[in-house]
């Protein structure tokens, strides 16, 4: 029974804060890479909402602002660790938050 539950797609929201020094085209490239990682693992991206540059509550890596992007998608839970690991090693991503909506 655990095997069947693992194949079920779950709803997620991902908020990514990207360094303000990154060009708009590069931000789009980063988010395309995130979307590709989701779809390659059998998931589907339902929405990508850029919130624009916003001031941070506290400095992160000496930056006072960042580009916020919200992504809503469905994905198998076993691939969430892989997604977070790829975001963690990216130098352009200041912070990310992955939320399981169930």
Topology, domain 22-100:
Alpha-Beta Plaits (3.30.70)
The 3-class SS string of 25-36 reads HHHHHHHHHHHH
Ordered mean pLDDT values, 10 residues apiece, the chain (102 residues): 63 96 91 94 94 95 95 94 94 95 86
Q: Is 75 exposed, middle or buried (0-12, 13-18, 19+ CB in 10 A)?
A: buried
Cα three-residue angle 50-36-30, rounded to 5 degrees:
45
Q: pLDDT at position 6, please?
A: 52
What are the two backbone dihedrals, phi and then psi, of residue 87, each rounded to the nearest 5 degrees? -70, -35
User: Where in the chain are the domains?
Assistant: 22-100
Total residue count of the chain as it appears in this document: 102
Residue 2: the pLDDT is: 45
Name the DSSP letter for residue 78: G
* pLDDT reported for residue 51: 94
Q: What pLDDT is recorded for position 102?
A: 80
pLDDT digits (tens, 9 = 90+) for 38-65: 999 999 999 999 999 999 999 999 999 9
pLDDT at residue 65, as a whole number = 96
pLDDT at 7: 72
């Amino acid at each position: 029974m655990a095997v069947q539950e693992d194949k079920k797609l779950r709803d997620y929201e991902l908020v990514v804060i990207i360094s303000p020094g990154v060009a708009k085209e590069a931000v789009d490239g980063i988010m395309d890479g995130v979307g590709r990682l989701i779809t390659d693992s059998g998931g589907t991206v339902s929405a990508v909402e850029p919130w624009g540059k916003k001031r941070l509550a506290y400095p992160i890596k000496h930056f006072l602002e960042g580009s916020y992007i919200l992504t809503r998608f469905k994905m198998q839970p076993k691939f969430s660790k892989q997604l977070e690991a790829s975001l963690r090693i990216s130098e352009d991503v200041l912070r990310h938050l992955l939320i399981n909506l169930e």
